[in-house]
Chain A
Amino acid sequence: MALSNEEIKSKLIEKFGDAVINFDESYGMLSFEAPKDINLKVLQFLFDDATLQFQFLTDLTAVHYPDDKGSELAVVYHLHNLKDNVRIRFKVRTSTERPDVFTATKLFSAANWMERETFDFYGVNFVGHPNLKRILNVDEMDYFPMRKEFPMEDQTRIDKDDEMFGRGGSII
């Protein structure tokens, strides 16, 4: 018998009560949020529970919502139950002022590089990560390029038509 989304949801609510919020099923995939200070407890529960068994971390990244003051960054964990072939999405929100989130590297070795990437692009500070430094961008980079306040374009160029390349101008 395959694991249903309702089953996952009821098990989570049974364990964590009101802490788990914003349940959603987009395209049949369950997603939910929890406060960032219990992210490891939730992941551990999803990992250890005999029926849930979300023991594979498919992806870990972040999303920047600049308009949500106080919880601008969402760290997203994509988890996979290989036995029942069920996937879920788990998010924790944090502010850009103190973007501290506990590291999942103790639970998933795969989280190591993915957390480095998330730090590299969004500046999420994974507390307890063994080697939190940039992984894809140049070491000298002094900002987090995927945050929306930074333009994507290379700011050193002067020979391109600014209107066509997103550096000001009138075309939006």
Chain B
Amino acid sequence: MRPVRFNIHPKEAVTSTAISVTEAPEGYSGEGFFTAKLSDVVGLARKNSIWPLPFATSCCGIEFMATAAAHYDLARFGAERMAFTPRQCDLLMVMGTIAKKMGPVLRQVYLQMAEPRWVLAVGACASSGGIFDSYSVLQGIDQIIPVDVYVPGCPPRPEAILDGFMKIQELVGQESIRRRNSTQYKALLDTYGIQ
């Protein structure tokens, strides 16, 4: 009887080079112990388990859906847990045109997020208003909330969104755990009227 098998030359997957493992932070190790800076360890944990809050309003949101889907797979970066609950999330991803009427809504979502929090502005509209130089459109979300990383493009390709996400990861990983108590950060929030 003929075996039911169409791929008669199956290839074994080579996983030794395909999987990248996060490197341990700088530190001293010996028999049964490892010492490192707390901020490095916390940063390592944070940057590889970011919970994004997708705030998608238009075509950039469609690109984001592709980014989160199987082919580009945002989950590879430890960010598979999308949530629409601002209190649980670390990263606000704003994708799309924000009308002036939606500004207060976006701001409230930002205010409800707990520190530490980061903001990624995806696409021309979220970054600057884009082509919508119009009385009804907010000319960049940085008019109402602070932004950490801007992703240009109209809309940006998933690779660009991933690149922006990795830039956020860099920030998260290198950030001092006390940065959010710093005077500069407080001054930045003060310019937006947030305390």
Which one, B85-93, B134-142, B185-193, is touching chain A?
B134-142
Known: A152-B134, A165-B133. A157 touches B139 (CB 8 A): yes
Are A154 and B101 within 8 A (Cβ)?
no
* Residues of B close to A153: CB separation below 8 A: 133-135
User: Which residues of B1-27 have CB atoms within 8 Å of chain A's CB atoms?
Assistant: none
* Docked complex Cα distance between A84 and B163 (Å): 59
List the A residue with the shortest CB-CB distance to B143: A156
* Docked complex Cα distance between A157 and B136 (Å): 13
Q: Is A150 an interface residue (CB 8 A)?
A: yes
**Per-residue B-contact encoding for A128-170, CB less than 8 Å = 1, 0 else:** 0000000011100100010000111110110110000110000
* Docked complex Cα distance between A75 and B44 (Å): 62
User: Which residues of B122-154 have CB atoms within 8 Å of chain A's CB atoms?
Assistant: 128-129, 133-137, 139
Interface footprint category on B: 10 to 19
Majority secondary structure, A binding face: loop
Interface footprint category on A: 10 to 19
* Docked complex Cα distance between A115 and B128 (Å): 33
* Residues of B close to A165: CB separation below 8 A: 133
List the B residue with the shortest CB-CB distance to A153: B133
List the B residue with the shortest CB-CB distance to A158: B139
* Residues of A close to B100: CB separation below 8 A: 137-138
* Residues of A close to B101: CB separation below 8 A: 136-138
Are B135 and A157 within 8 A (Cβ)?
no
* Docked complex Cα distance between A152 and B136 (Å): 9
* Docked complex Cα distance between A145 and B100 (Å): 14
Least Cβ–Cβ distance between B136 and chain A, in angstroms: 6
* Docked complex Cα distance between A159 and B136 (Å): 18
* Docked complex Cα distance between A165 and B129 (Å): 13
* Residues of B close to A157: CB separation below 8 A: 129, 133, 139
* Residues of B close to A137: CB separation below 8 A: 100-101, 135-136
List the A residue with the shortest CB-CB distance to B136: A137
Least Cβ–Cβ distance between B79 and chain A, in angstroms: 32
Are B135 and A145 within 8 A (Cβ)?
yes
* Residues of A close to B134: CB separation below 8 A: 152-154
* Docked complex Cα distance between A6 and B136 (Å): 43
Are B135 and A152 within 8 A (Cβ)?
yes
* Residues of B close to A151: CB separation below 8 A: 135
* Docked complex Cα distance between A136 and B100 (Å): 10
**Per-residue A-contact encoding for B93-134, CB less than 8 Å = 1, 0 else:** 000000011010000000000000000000000001100011
Least Cβ–Cβ distance between B97 and chain A, in angstroms: 12
* Docked complex Cα distance between A156 and B139 (Å): 8
* Docked complex Cα distance between A138 and B101 (Å): 5
13 pairs of residues in contact across A and B, judged by CB atoms under 8 Å: A137-B101, A137-B136, A138-B101, A145-B135, A150-B135, A153-B134, A153-B135, A154-B129, A154-B133, A154-B134, A154-B139, A157-B139, A165-B133
- A150-B135, A151-B135, A156-B139 are known; give 5 further A-B pairs, CB within 8 A: A136-B136, A145-B136, A152-B134, A154-B137, A157-B129
Instruction: In the A-B complex, list the 7 residue pairs whose CB atoms are closest, starting with the nearest.
Output: A145-B135, A153-B133, A138-B100, A138-B101, A157-B139, A165-B133, A154-B139
